[in-house]
Amino acid sequence: MFKNLLGKSLAYRLTAFMTLVVVITLGIVIFLYIYLERDFASTTAEYQFSLINRTFNELISYINGKDHGIQPQQLIERLGEESSVNYITLYNNSGRPVMSSVTSLQTPLSEKELKELENLSDDHSVASVSKKTLDYIAPIRLRASCRKCHADGNILGFIKISSYAGNVYKHTYDMAKKLGLIFLFSLLIFGVVSIFISEFVVVKPLKEFVALIHKAELNNFLPRSKLTREDEIGEIEDNFNQMLSRITNLMATSVEKERELVFVKEELKYKELLEKRSEQIEKVNSELEGSVKELSMLYNFGQYIISTVDMNDLLRIITTAIVDTLNYKECAILFKEDNLLRIVSAWGFEDNAKLMGIEFGLEEGISGSVASTGKPMLINDTSRESRYLHYKGQIQKEGAFLSVPLKYKNIVIGVLNVSNDIPNSLTKKDIDFLTAISAQIAVVIENARLYEQTKELSITDDLTGLFNRRHMRVVLDKEWERSNRYSQPLSLLMIDLDLFKEYNDKFGHLKGDEALAILSQIIKMNIRGIDVPIRYGGEEFLIILPDTNAAGAMATAEKLRKAIADAFTQNNIPTLTISIGVVASPDEIFDSVHEFLYASDIALYEAKKRGRNIMVKYDGKSMQENNK
């Protein structure tokens, strides 16, 4: 239905999908607002009712002590004029209504309500919310001034203050309607902008590129795409232009061959010679057609494997592309690590996950032989080859099997395996074709490895393996924003090695580096997976504790302090201790993340002043006065 409604336009489909996501998000926001605001309105009304009840009790006491001329009925009617109150009812101590701010009296209190009210302590009440009203019931207790006329018991009666739910929640519903209108207007603007961006940034360039492809389908290979972009679309256009150039050269060669045929036919007068020449031309044409097909397949495969630099995604794309695009039955990639080959990606098998992690020694089986020799190996029928190990017995099917090495700068980095269920279904042509592809695969794999190594080095400290201060700024800003937005607790531990300069002077910097490395490992083992350990300075460390309040932060700090003291003692390493400054939000209020971080430094300084090897929680008032 949506497909017929939106048509074939990619811009409209993208806009419809993004708009649906926005609608769902805005609906959830409005629902949460109504839900939370209703609770707030109920709590506010209950608080106002409690003030009215207290006022009534004080007035009753005043009346009893000063002036019996003022009747309770008059007080009830005056209090009932309050905008947030619809009616007030007084009950005697047996729960029967005796007067009300409205004409008709209310129903008596149930035995359950009476029992609950009689057991309440002073200044306590019972509040209940029904579909129609919010009721507040409280006992009217006998005071000294009341005992002139009412000597029996401790309770004079009960007062019930009621308000219609529509009045209580009117502001909530009005505000929800206004929010709905604002969100609807924002959604309209979002949809228009999304259609414009999708149409002119994505769809229009793709339409121009598709038009060029249609020209190529009509054997018009001379037009070229205008390279005006440097993004993925521009890269596709560049590769397509290169493919058109190769096809044009091949066609030019084909035309040249056809001209040779015409020349031979004109010179040769004998039919036999003409037939031989014709066969030769047909063979050349067949080879040219095969070359064009291979170039097209290489082009499509190249587009698949350059689409990502993430290693896991890259391996999955390569194996699936070889099976789905190049029409092999099964494919597996093995990486060479030390003296072993390990399967890191598999596709097309009955259970791909079952093969992951299987290891082969170098020269073990077909894959091991290919990795050690660096030469491809083709097995026409695996049932006749004893060296074929069926992936350590995990695969029982027989057929044809081909293994080619993955080489980067003439060094074998892994092995690429493909197989078919039919024996003798792989040929030397497959060897040549996969050898060419394996060179591309090896390059993109090494690029992905280099990318991951560069990314890891940019955010980690060489000595400790912990995150560095550059990464700390990104993570702390993000966690601070998330804590404030969702009202979640956030804590910091600022850690410093005690007397570390004297330790280095006494035992040397190599021993000091060893101590820092041990300390970082202890920190990693004693924190949660979501916690972020950072080397803040030379011997200073910072730990970001998301979703952790002050009590949790202090427990973690004490755990680290003991673990570090014990570890240095047990490993026959000169004893080292740490001092820890702890700060928690929102236990303390800070205007910015910089003040939050600075508070942890103040707490650490206080721990140093108090004798080291302790933890100190930041106390804004006392510590600011001490630091003046």
Supply the DSSP symbol for 383.
G
Identity of the amino acid at 108: P
**Cα atoms in the 13 Å half-sphere on the side-chain side of 551:** 0
The span from the CA of 271 to the CA of 579, in Å, is 101
Residue 379's Cβ-count burial label (10 Å; 0-12, 13-18, 19+) is buried
Contacts of 381 (CB under 8 A, 6+ apart): 398, 399, 400, 423, 424
Question: Catalytic one among 237, 479, 539, 588?
Answer: 539
Rg of the chain's alpha carbons, rounded to an integer?
Answer: 41
Annotation says 539 is catalytic:
yes
Contact 532, 543 (CB under 8 A): yes
Supply the DSSP symbol for 107.
P
Closest CA to 88 of 124, 55, 44: 55
Contact 385, 359 (CB under 8 A): no
Identity of the amino acid at 591: D
Closest CA to 577 of 526, 536, 611: 611
Identity of the amino acid at 539: E
Q: How far is CA 38 from the centre of its chain?
A: 31
Contacts of 487 (CB under 8 A, 6+ apart): 586
Contact 318, 441 (CB under 8 A): yes
In 3-state terms the chain splits into helix, strand, coil percentages (rounded to 5) of 55, 15, 25
Query: What's phi and psi for 341, nearest 5 deg?
Result: -110, 135
What the block records as the tokens of 605 is 């300084």
Supply the DSSP symbol for 321.
H
Give the number of other Cβ atoms within 10 Å of residue 332's Cβ. 26
The span from the CA of 128 to the CA of 42, in Å, is 10
Whether residue 586 has a cis bond before it, omega within 30° of 0: yes
Identify the helix (H) or strand (E) that includes residue 32: helix 10-65
Give the number of other Cβ atoms within 10 Å of residue 203's Cβ. 18
Contact 489, 586 (CB under 8 A): yes
Q: How far is CA 417 from the centre of its chain?
A: 34
Catalytic residues: 539
